[in-house]
Structure 1
Amino acid sequence: MKLSLFFSGLAVTLTTLNINVYPAFSQSGYEVNFPDEVTFSCQEMFDPVMKAKLPMTVAWVPERKGYVRFITWKSKLFGQQWNPSSRCRVVSSRFEQSYQMGSLQYLTAGTTNGYPIVCATTLGGSCNSENQLFTMEYTRNPWEVLGSLISIMTGSTSGTIMQSAETSTYLSVTNYIKNAPIITVDDLR
């Protein structure tokens, strides 16, 4: 008798726990928690040009309730170890670390060990192996890649988006996060 009451009580308790553990779902069918600060990550998102989901380095911008795309990873020229997904994860982590340390103020381009790179720096700073975010194929022009990011952000608008110091171009990460087109959460599906 006591054992029967024990199992009945256990069943009621487990049922109650299940109700408490699984909160009500939103209308979209699932609940997603987003950070309350800018965070960089690698996400699989739909690329309308390629008509496929691709790994992308993105920044979650809570004030805008969406993602800002920085890089879509497509190139397979770096071999299987550095396929688009693995590059996305590593580079997104570098963006996040640089942002958290306060060193991701501007993006600029340069070379290190003969390879073109994009790096995180201050205005007027230069690229080196310590602030490098990612390496490109040796045939790529890093200034064109930086120019592409600027084009994404500016669209048809004008304003203080990039700044120059001597012959280098600098992209303000803060302005990019504030002005680049938003990717909605629906693009994650």
Structure 2
Amino acid sequence: MDLQKRDSAGIVFYRRAPNELQLLVHPGGPYWRNRLEGAWQIPKGAIGSGEAPDAAALREVAEEVGIAVSGPLGPLGTIRQAGGKAFTAFAVEQEIDPASIVSNRFELAWPPLSGTCQSFPEIDAARWLALAEAREAILPSQRPLPTRLRAILGGRDREAGRPWPGRRPRAAHSCRTSPFRFTAHSARFRAARKLQHLRSG
């Protein structure tokens, strides 16, 4: 078995003004439809055979959410996810409008054993979250990454904004077909905003 094909790479997008926030996405499809806490994730995808993790992260982000990375990639290290898969994460400071994200789609036989194939977006919502919110909302196996980012950003603040020694992005090929664009009016986004309102109430 080619273990590299089981590994994945992704990017944590963050911003520091006016408040420090991190971007998480919600996976589409029927299995995730009614899950909110512990379901949101960092945009990521599988590393291809012979592909470098940073190149895979750029490609997958372009394909999954249609985002062109504009800054240097800062390494966040590798974590081990449920099932034993390794996930190599990077971080980049970039402003993104969640409503502008465009996701590609996948096909799934649904309902099971029905013989009917349906199309679902890989990502059906995206949100900027504060660190405390991200820890609750994110997939448990990815929970160390927001904390790692906070520790790194704290160090950078103390060093008076010294640039992150990351890698400059290389061009990523996007092969989206049948794109899905969601807005602030989508059902998943409304549910997420309702959950946020209840927490803050």
TM-score range (shorter-chain normalised) is under 0.3
Calculate the TM-score normalised by the size of structure 1: 0.27
Larger radius of gyration: 1
